[in-house]
Every structure is written in structure tokens, then in C-alpha cells.
Amino acid sequence: MPSLRVMLIEDDELTRSTVKAALVKKGIDIIFDTPHVADALTFAKKHRPDVAVVDYNLGKGPNGIDLANGLRKFDPSIGIVLLTAFLNPTQLPTQIAKLPKGSKYLIKHSVSEIGVLIKEIEAAAAYMA
């Protein structure tokens, strides 16, 4: 089975580089990582990754859900994994209901257990496969 081609969008540099390194070590092919929504969209249009791992909070402007919906507009088969830091349901963004179908939702704290993230990436990739 060919390794999954994953795109990582996270605005925090440390987190991005750490998660990237951990995924690469586990055999995941991180073909692109960026903090910017616009760059992610441009890249995805050209290279069609299997899965996008997207942080919910990307700073000012669009959030991870906006990006996920933007990606699905031109690539209905792309898998989406949304990362968020919210632990408590009262803090969950109300927009979570607008995540594209088949998207996976992961609390960031679980990311330190990289196996959990890989499992979700594989599940997201299997959505349209």
C-alpha cells in the first residue's frame, strides 16, 4: 500500500514541525505544510493530496472549517482531519456541525500520542477511497 500523501496546515511553527516529523517517522508522506490557507488551497489544486490535517484555529481570518469546505469544493475526495484544542464541550466551536462529510475531528492533546492521529488520517483517507 503506497504511503498516504498528507498536507499539514497549522499556524504554530513548533507544532507544525513536530507533528510533521512524527508523521514522517511513522511512514506518512507529508507533501506540504504551511500556516496559510491561501497556500494550502493553491497547493491542493495542483497536487491533490489524499488527506489534509488542518488546525481549527488558524489566527485571524478563515478557520480550519472554512479551509476544509474550500478544499472539498474542488476535491470532493480529499480526507479531512481537523485538530482543535478545545477539551470542554462548552468551548467547542458551534461551526463544527459544518465540517464536510467524512471529516475527522481530533482534540490536539491526543496528538502527543501520534498513533491516534495516524489512525484518524487513515480513516479520513478511507472516506472516499
Partner 1 sequence: MIVPFNLDIPLNPPSDYPHPSLFLYPYDVSKTGDTKRRLAKIETWDAPFDLSIAPLLIFISLIPNTLVELRSTDSTRTVVLWIGIKLFTIIIWFAPLYVLHGTVKGFKRREINLFLGGIIGAILGSISGTYVFYAANLLNVNHPSENLQRRIISTAIIGFAWLPIGLVLSQSYGNIKKIAYGKEGSPHSLIRQNFRKTAFYNSYVRKSHDSIQTELSEISYNLANELTALASSESMGLSNAEKILEKLSTKSFRDLSNRIDKDVQAIRQKRNLRLRILTFRNYVSVILISVYKDMKKNPLNPRIFTYVIVVCLLGTQIRNNESVFHIFVFSSLAAAVTYAMSSLIVFYWKKTEKYFFEFSIFGLILNILFVYLIQEYMRIHGYDTVLVGQRAKTTFLDVLLFFFIYFLGHFGTAGVTATVDIFRVKEFSKIAHAIEAEMLRDQKRLIGRRWAVHIHGKIQTRISSAALAIQQATDKGDGSMILKTIDSIRFTLAEPSIGLKQVDRALEQEVQTRFAPWSGLVEYETSIEPELYSLDPVRVRVVGEVLEELISNAVRHGGATQIAIKLSMSRSSGIVLYAEDNSTNPPSLSTNRSVGIGTTIFNAASLGRWKLERDQVRGKTVFNMTISSDINFDLER
DSSP letter for each residue of 17-64: HHHHHHHHHTT-EEEEEES-HHHHHHHHHHH--SEEEEES--SSS--H
Residue from 29, 42, 76, 126 in contact with partner 1 (CB under 8 A): 42
Residues 88, 54: Cα–Cα separation, whole Å: 20
Q: Does 46 bind partner 1 (CB under 8 A)?
A: no
76's enclosing H/E stretch is: none
Provide, rounded to whole angstroms, the least separation between the CB of residue 78 and partner 1: 15
> Looking at 29, 47, 76, 85, which residue binds partner 1 (CB under 8 A)?
85
- State yes or no: residue 18 binds partner 1 (CB under 8 A): yes
Task: Kindly write out the interface string for residues 89-128 of this chain, putting x where it contacts partner 1 by CB under 8 A and - elsewhere.
Answer: -xx---x--x---------xx-xx-x--------------
Place of cell 485571524: 60
Q: Measured from the CB of residue 129, what is the shortest distance to partner 1 in angstroms?
A: 26
Burial class (CB in 10 A: 0-12, 13-18, 19+), 22: middle
> CA 32 to CA 36: how far, in whole Å?
11
Interacting residues toward partner 1 by CB under 8 A: 12, 14-15, 17-19, 21-22, 25, 36-42, 57-62, 66-67, 70, 85-88, 90-91, 95, 98, 108-109, 111-112, 114
